[in-house]
């Protein structure tokens, strides 16, 4: 190309549309932190005890039983502070946070914008430096926030009481399974030992129920992708303790017969728990309680905009009807004439599901998010999330080799499970390989939980946070990558090319002789390849 | 004056402009968004808006509103605090905050080991640094908190041994025992080992009586909830002789001076990393670790993710990924081990930064300094009239029990009076530990100066 032109813009566009990004992620080739050690360097100095304190203590090691004294200093690296910082900043650059890209590729994860003001508020010493055992009179502010946010959750779900103790979405699913167990124990329903869930609900719905000794019955989707109601009718019995189900499931298809599902389970005395991980498109549109659910859970790090934090800290809100309040974990935040307090007088409760009260600073962020938007704003969130998703679906389905199986011709709620079956048949390229090639353009991409029910699955969820231009860029890149699958499959197969590292040799990870979960294990097992 | 209300354009929602909405509706050939909700039965649809407080639409208005609420709190920066009991005030090195406030980590989630290489490496480094502190080869990606780690370690030991009897030290946080009891109910028979009232440690005679060949696990905290350093070797030996798994929960910040439990026979070690660089956040700074030796039968019992190191196709390049992923519920649903989900990864990354910053010297010095302050505080407090330190002769790491029975005052009264003097006194134990009378758990760390301790003693003298 002749590059004598001074108009840069015309080289950034083809046919009036922006070209693909010439992206390359940072590649620092950074050593493992242990390799940075230089004898005697210090990262920080420790406040020394005063002479009088040291004198009083004399030789503190003498107070310890000899087997309790550490004989050798831990083999931690010795690194000056700026070198530690530089190392971790480089690692941060080798990580693709949602703030840096159009993160609609991590379907089911609801990667929405995390407002910075909410982080700033949470970093305030008035939040960050609170000890959980302080007298209630000194933490009235955060208790009020928790109490007010509970009211918000009650309005959104229709439920009567909420606990913020679970430290993640799966932890709230666990807490719901615990309440179902406790409820039936209290009723003397010892015969109720089965939980029904669906294959397209989160794996934790099945796994957590199993922890309480429940037998798991898993319903598969019918031909239209809905959980099979006939299978449910066949599965329920006197043994049914409960139903733990998502709606919409990860397909984004709303199950219009959800209330019938609930009624069928209620008829045999089971409880129904609504896994609301996919609630983003339904805020202010429909409520768990109205469909008859007894329990539900929300992920504040999804629907309520709190950061995912690379995988937590997080909060799973557990919300229940008044019949189930006695079984909640303690303590609950209560208000007595304007005085907020922690009520741990729950003799029939499930006890504790986490230390203290869960991640209160996450609750604070979610509260701030709702307080910024209000009822109209929440409805705008839901509607734009759904509109974005249907717009995106229209554009993705224009790409050769794509499809959105199940519920043909129907709209979706907040996400779609796509299939690249046709593309795979044509090119031999797998969905995972498309994902790694997308990473070359600085974009995430996710397939599906296991086992795959659809061949070559992909799940995209644009949330309300992305603009039309953002979605167009994602689709344009996806289209380019799929075209490569047809025209130059080798480049897709060998991806990623522009990431911090190249293809990992996976044979180490499942071989006990070679896996290494720590540097010390690595040095021991792979002596030839280490400096140590 | 016009009364037409302008539609709000929300800064967090780019497509909240009327133009964008219309463009997309046209593109998908829909008249209104209601069409997307056609599958929701009419009677399940909410009529009108949610009943929520009026929003603070401007960022400034929101900030003012939330700050006003937060200002009702008195923090440990405002007051002198001696609270511990599972959540600890330590200095958080500035680099810890600098790294864990990086948007690249804060807003990341579940990317691949390629585009999220930094997260994988930082977590592998965290487990590696913890591995050195613990002298164990396997450490997991963090779970929710130390409670969860303890509960899981008990279940792991039961699966590992094929037995279901668990002996749990009574000298643990009562809430932790509640958590373990609920978590393990279906598959574990729990027996609590009583506390020796004289020493504040677990009663070894009772442990001997309870131990038999059906015992899967002996679980204890060291230092324990009352701050007492247990004779870990003696307890682990008893467990090992009976063929039970010794599972120890440890405060990781003690390990610059205290022996890592692996050295006295522990097979599973757990704990909470909050002390390693996390602000207390009203209990929001917790994350749990589980560690073991690299024994495949034990490794396969972990429910959590384990990140391993591996070569890439380019010589000299490190790659990271999931080790033995098929253990997990992500892979096998109810047939995986327990369950796994979003937990506390950012705190794992932070604890890695903390340990890399502290180094061996820092960890040793902080441990020594905490031991010294506790010796001094014990001596000073026990000099006060009516104040006793019941386990005075026992070694304590960063907290110990202070008894006020002889003052004729309750802990509640004393703590209230101290609070009026700007002091958060030790945690009141009288409800959960009636056998200790009017006692409180006082905690001293590197953040406390001699003057702070003397101030406490002076204030106590005044209020008693």
Which positions 248-287 of A are in contact with B (Cβ < 8 Å)?
253-256, 258-259, 281, 283-287
Question: What does the pLDDT read at residue A13?
Answer: 83
Q: Mean pLDDT over all residues of chain A? A: 95
Question: What does the pLDDT read at residue A528?
Answer: 65
Q: Which CATH number fits domain B94-355: 3.40.50.720, 3.40.640.10, 3.20.20.80, 3.20.110.20?
A: 3.40.640.10
Q: Does A93 touch chain B (CB under 8 A)?
A: yes
Question: What does the pLDDT read at residue A451?
Answer: 87
Structural domain that includes position A196? 122-372
Contact A52 B376 (CB under 8 A): yes
Question: Does the pLDDT at position A9 exceed 90?
Answer: no
For residue B4, name the pLDDT band (cuts at 50, 70, 90): low
Q: Which helix (H) or strand (E) holds B77?
A: none
Burial class (CB in 10 A: 0-12, 13-18, 19+), A322: exposed
Q: Does A159 touch chain B (CB under 8 A)?
A: no
Average pLDDT on A135-148 reads 98
- Over residues A321-340, the pLDDT tens digits come to 999 999 999 999 999 999 99
DSSP per position, A240-284 = EEEEEEESS-TT----TTHHHHHHHHHHTT-EEEEE-TTGGGGTT
Question: Does the pLDDT at position A529 exceed 90?
Answer: no
Question: Does the pLDDT at position A83 exceed 70?
Answer: yes
Query: Which residue of A lies nearest to B451 if distances are taken between CA atoms?
Result: A50
- Over residues B324-361, the pLDDT tens digits come to 999 999 999 999 999 999 999 999 999 999 999 999 99
Q: Does A7 touch chain B (CB under 8 A)?
A: no
Question: What does the pLDDT read at residue B116?
Answer: 97
For residue B2, name the pLDDT band (cuts at 50, 70, 90): very low
Burial class (CB in 10 A: 0-12, 13-18, 19+), B48: exposed
Contact A353 B263 (CB under 8 A): no
CATH level 2 (architecture), domain B80-90+362-463: Alpha-Beta Complex (3.90)
Question: Does the pLDDT at position A530 exceed 50?
Answer: no
Distance CA A390, CA A387 (A): 5
- Residue ranges matching CATH 3.90.1150.10 in chain B: 80-90+362-463
Which residue among A77, A384, A439 places its CB closest to the CB of B16? A384
Instruction: Find the largest Cα–Cα distance for chain B.
Output: 88
Distance CA A457, CA B261 (A): 46
In sequence order, what are the residues at sequence separation of 6 or more whose Cβ sits closer than 8 angstroms to the Cβ of residue A16? none
Question: Does the pLDDT at position A11 exceed 90?
Answer: no
- Over residues B300-329, the pLDDT tens digits come to 999 999 999 999 999 999 999 999 999 999
Distance CA B181, CA A329 (A): 13
Question: What does the pLDDT read at residue A351?
Answer: 96
Distance CA A153, CA A369 (A): 13
- Over residues A192-249, the pLDDT tens digits come to 999 999 999 999 999 999 999 999 999 999 989 999 999 999 999 999 999 999 999 9
Question: What does the pLDDT read at residue A228?
Answer: 93
Question: Is residue A32 one of the residues assigned to a domain?
Answer: no
Which positions 428-447 of A are in contact with B (Cβ < 8 Å)?
435-436, 439, 442, 444, 446
Phi and psi based region of residue B302 (left: phi greater than 0; alpha: psi -120 to 50; beta: remaining): beta
Query: Which residue of A lies nearest to B57 if distances are taken between CA atoms?
Result: A372
Residue B203 in contact with residue B195, Cβ under 8 Å? yes
| Mutate: best of A504, A508, A510, A523, partner B, most B CBs <10 A | A504
Question: Does the pLDDT at position B387 exceed 80?
Answer: yes
SS3 readout for A455-467? CCEEEECCCCCCC
Bridge-based pairing state of the strands B268-272 and B245-249 = parallel
Contact A380 B13 (CB under 8 A): yes
Residue B133 in contact with residue A76, Cβ under 8 Å? yes
- How many Cβ pairs closer than 8 A exist between chain A and B? 747
Residue B196 in contact with residue B208, Cβ under 8 Å? no
Residue A323 in contact with residue B114, Cβ under 8 Å? no
Query: Which residue of A lies nearest to B441 if distances are taken between CA atoms?
Result: A133
Question: What residues of chain B lie within 8 A of the CB of A139, using their CB?
Answer: 73-74, 282
**Residue A196 structure tokens:** 């029904």
Domain count of the fold of chain A: 1
In sequence order, what are the residues at sequence separation of 6 or more whose Cβ sits closer than 8 angstroms to the Cβ of residue B127? A517, A518, B139, B140, B141, B306, B307, B348
Distance CA A331, CA A162 (A): 11
Percentage, residues of chain A above pLDDT 90: 92
Least confident residue range of A6-15, A422-431, B61-70, B153-162 = A6-15
Q: Does A54 touch chain B (CB under 8 A)?
A: yes
Q: How close, in Å, is residue B307 to chain A by CA atoms?
A: 6
Q: How close, in Å, is residue A3 to chain B by CA atoms?
A: 32
Q: Closest Cα to residue A170, out of B343, B345, B284?
A: B343
What's the complex ipTM?
A: 0.97
Question: What does the pLDDT read at residue A18?
Answer: 82
Contact A32 B309 (CB under 8 A): yes
Q: Does A17 touch chain B (CB under 8 A)?
A: no
| Mutate: best of B52, B395, B441, partner A, most A CBs <10 A | B52
Residue A203 in contact with residue A449, Cβ under 8 Å? yes
Q: Closest Cα to residue B170, out of B146, B200, B202, B198?
A: B202
Contact A76 B62 (CB under 8 A): no
Residue B55 DSSP code: P
Question: What residues of chain B lie within 8 A of the CB of A381, using their CB?
Answer: 13
Q: How many CB atoms lie within 10 A of CB A422?
A: 14
Which residue among B127, B132, B264 places its CB closest to the CB of A76? B132
In sequence order, what are the residues at sequence separation of 6 or more whose Cβ sits closer than 8 angstroms to the Cβ of residue A91? A28, A30, B117, B118, B119, B121, B122
Q: How close, in Å, is residue B212 to chain A by CA atoms?
A: 25
Query: Which residue of B lies nearest to A142 if distances are taken between CA atoms?
Result: B70
DSSP per position, B338-404 = S---S--HHHHHHHHHHHHHHHHHHHHHHHHHHHHHHHHHHHHHHTSTT-B-TTTTS-BSSEEEEE-
**Residue B51 structure tokens:** 């009943």
Least confident residue range of A523-527, B111-115, B454-458 = A523-527
Burial class (CB in 10 A: 0-12, 13-18, 19+), B1: exposed
Query: Which residue of B lies nearest to A136 if distances are taken between CA atoms?
Result: B73
Distance CA B416, CA B438 (A): 14
Bridge-based pairing state of the strands A339-343 and A332-336 = antiparallel
For residue A15, name the pLDDT band (cuts at 50, 70, 90): confident
Phi, psi of A163 (to 5 degrees): -120, 140
How far from each other are the two terminal CA atoms of chain A, in whole angstroms? 51
Question: Is residue A50 one of the residues assigned to a domain?
Answer: no
Question: Is residue A104 one of the residues assigned to a domain?
Answer: no
Contact A70 B259 (CB under 8 A): yes
For residue A86, name the pLDDT band (cuts at 50, 70, 90): very high
Question: Is residue A113 one of the residues assigned to a domain?
Answer: no
Average pLDDT on A464-493 reads 97
Which positions 485-524 of A are in contact with B (Cβ < 8 Å)?
496, 499-510, 512, 515-522, 524
**Residue B78 structure tokens:** 């405002």
Bridge-based pairing state of the strands B288-292 and B268-272 = antiparallel
Vertex A515, ends A512 and A518: CA angle to 5°?
A: 125
- Higher confidence at residue A345 or residue A4? A345
- Higher confidence at residue A272 or residue A507? A272
Residue B147 in contact with residue A354, Cβ under 8 Å? yes
Q: What's the CATH number where A200 sits?
A: 3.40.640.10
Task: Give the E-state strand segments of A268-388 in sequence order.
Answer: 271-275, 295-299, 316-320, 332-336, 339-343
- Residue ranges matching CATH 3.40.640.10 in chain B: 94-355
Residue A183 in contact with residue A204, Cβ under 8 Å? no
Question: What residues of chain A lie within 8 A of the CB of B279, using their CB?
Answer: 128-129
- Over residues B74-123, the pLDDT tens digits come to 999 999 999 999 999 999 999 999 999 999 999 999 999 999 999 999 99
Burial class (CB in 10 A: 0-12, 13-18, 19+), A59: exposed
Question: What residues of chain B lie within 8 A of the CB of A384, using their CB?
Answer: 13, 15-16, 21
Least confident residue range of A506-510, B195-199, B253-257 = A506-510
- Over residues A373-408, the pLDDT tens digits come to 999 999 999 999 999 999 999 999 999 999 999 998
Question: What does the pLDDT read at residue A382?
Answer: 98
């Amino acid at each position: 190309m002749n590059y004598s032109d001074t108009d840069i813009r015309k080289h950034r566009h083809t046919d009036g549309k922006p070209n693909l990004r010439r992206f390359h992620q940072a590649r620092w080739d950074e050593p493992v932190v242990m390799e940075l050690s230089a004898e005697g360097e210090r990262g920080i100095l420790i406040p020394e005890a005063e002479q009088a304190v040291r004198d009083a203590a004399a030789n503190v090691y003498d107070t310890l039983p000899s087997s309790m004294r550490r004989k050798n200093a831990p083999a931690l690296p010795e690194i000056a502070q700026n070198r530690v910082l530089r190392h971790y900043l480089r690692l941060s650059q080798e990580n693709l946070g949602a703030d840096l890209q159009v993160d609609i590729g991590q379907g089911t994860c609801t990667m929405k914008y995390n407002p910075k003001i909410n982080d700033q508020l949470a970093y305030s010493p008035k939040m960050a430096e609170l000890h959980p055992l302080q007298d209630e009179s000194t933490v009235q502010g955060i208790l009020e926030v928790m109490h007010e946010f509970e009211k918000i959750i009650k309005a959104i779900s229709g439920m009567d009481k909420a606990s913020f103790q679970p430290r993640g979405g799966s932890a709230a699913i666990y807490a719901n399974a615990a309440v179902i167990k406790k409820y039936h124990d209290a009723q003397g329903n010892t015969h109720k030992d089965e939980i029904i869930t669906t294959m397209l609900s989160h794996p934790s719905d099945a796994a957590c129920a199993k922890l309480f000794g429940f037998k798991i019955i898993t319903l598969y989707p019918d031909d239209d992708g809905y959980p099979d109601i006939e299978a449910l009718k066949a599965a329920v019995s006197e043994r049914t303790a409960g139903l733990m189900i998502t709606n919409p499931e990860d397909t984004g298809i709303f199950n219009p017969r959800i209330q019938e599902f609930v009624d069928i389970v209620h008829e045999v005395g089971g409880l129904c728990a609504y896994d609301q991980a996919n609630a983003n498109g339904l805020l202010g549109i429909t409520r768990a309680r109205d469909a008859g659910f007894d329990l539900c859970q929300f992920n504040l790090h999804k629907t309520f905009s709190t950061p995912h934090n690379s995988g937590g800290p997080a909060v799973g809100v557990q919300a229940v009807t008044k019949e189930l309040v006695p079984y909640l974990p303690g303590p609950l935040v209560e208000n007595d004439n304007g005085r907020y307090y922690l009520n741990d007088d729950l003799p029939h409760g499930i006890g504790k599901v986490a230390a203290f009260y869960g991640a209160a600073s996450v609750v604070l962020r979610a509260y701030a998010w709702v307080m910024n938007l209000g009822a109209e704003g929440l409805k705008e969130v839901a509607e734009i999330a759904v509109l974005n998703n249907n717009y995106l679906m229209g554009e993705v389905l224009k790409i050769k080799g794509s499809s959105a199986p199940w519920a043909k011709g129907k709209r979706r709620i907040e996400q779609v499970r796509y299939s690249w079956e046709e593309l795979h048949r044509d090119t031999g390229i797998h969905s995972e390989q498309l994902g790694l090639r997308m990473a070359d353009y600085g974009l995430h991409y996710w397939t599906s939980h296991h086992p795959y029910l659809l061949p070559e699955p992909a799940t995209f969820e644009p949330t309300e946070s992305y603009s039309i231009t953002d979605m167009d860029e994602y689709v344009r890149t996806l289209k380019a990558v799929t075209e490569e699958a047809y025209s130059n499959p080798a480049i897709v197969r060998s991806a990623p090319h522009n990431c911090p590292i190249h293809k990992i040799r996976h044979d180490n990870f499942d071989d006990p002789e070679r896996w290494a979960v720590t540097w010390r294990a690595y040095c021991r097992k792979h002596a030839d390849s280490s400096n140590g | 004056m016009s009364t037409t209300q302008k539609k709000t354009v929300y800064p967090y929602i780019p497509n909240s402009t009327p133009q964008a909405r219309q463009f997309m509706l046209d593109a998908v050939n829909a008249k209104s968004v209601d069409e997307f909700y056609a599958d929701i039965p009419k009677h399940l649809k909410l009529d009108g808006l949610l009943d929520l407080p009026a929003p603070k639409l401007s960022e400034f208005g929101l900030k003012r509103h939330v700050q006003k609420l937060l200002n009702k709190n008195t923090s440990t920066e405002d007051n002198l605090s001696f609270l511990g009991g599972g959540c600890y005030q330590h200095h958080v090195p500035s680099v810890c905050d600098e790294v864990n406030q990086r948007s690249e980590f804060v807003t990341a989630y579940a990317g691949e080991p390629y585009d999220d290489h930094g997260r994988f490496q930082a977590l592998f480094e965290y487990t590696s640094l913890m591995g050195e502190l613990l002298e164990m080869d396997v450490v997991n990606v963090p779970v929710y908190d130390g409670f969860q780690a303890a509960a899981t370690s008990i279940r792991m030991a039961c699966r590992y041994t094929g037995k279901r009897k668990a002996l749990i030290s009574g000298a643990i946080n009562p809430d932790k025992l509640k958590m373990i009891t609920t978590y393990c109910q279906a598959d574990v028979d729990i027996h609590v080992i009583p506390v020796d009232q004289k020493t504040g440690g677990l009663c070894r005679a009772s442990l001997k009586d309870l131990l038999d060949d059906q015992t899967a696990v002996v679980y204890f905290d060291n230092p324990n909830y009352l701050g007492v350093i247990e004779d870990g070797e003696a307890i682990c030996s008893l467990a090992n002789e009976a063929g039970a798994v010794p599972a120890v929960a440890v405060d990781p910040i003690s390990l610059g001076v205290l022996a890592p439990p692996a050295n006295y026979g522990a097979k599973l070690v757990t704990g909470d990393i909050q002390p390693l660089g996390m602000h207390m956040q009203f209990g929001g700074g917790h994350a749990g670790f589980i560690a073991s030796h690299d024994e495949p039968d034990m490794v396969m019992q972990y429910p959590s993710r384990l990140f391993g190191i591996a070569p890439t196709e380019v010589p000299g390049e490190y790659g990271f990924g999931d080790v033995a992923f098929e253990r997990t519920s992500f892979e096998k649903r109810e047939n995986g081990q327990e369950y796994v989900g979003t937990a506390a990864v950012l705190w794992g990354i932070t604890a890695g930064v903390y340990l890399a910053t502290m180094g061996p010297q820092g960890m040793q010095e902080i441990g020594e300094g905490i031991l010294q302050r506790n010796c001094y505080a014990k001596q000073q407090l026990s000099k006060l009239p009516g104040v006793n330190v019941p386990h005075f002769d026992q070694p304590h790491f960063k907290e110990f029990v202070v008894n006020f029975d002889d003052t004729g005052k309750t802990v509640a009264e004393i703590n209230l009076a101290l609070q009026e003097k700007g002091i958060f006194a030790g945690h009141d134990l009288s409800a959960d530990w009636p056998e200790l009378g009017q006692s409180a758990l006082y905690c001293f760390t590197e953040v406390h100066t001699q003057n702070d301790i003397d101030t406490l003693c002076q204030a106590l003298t005044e209020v008693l």
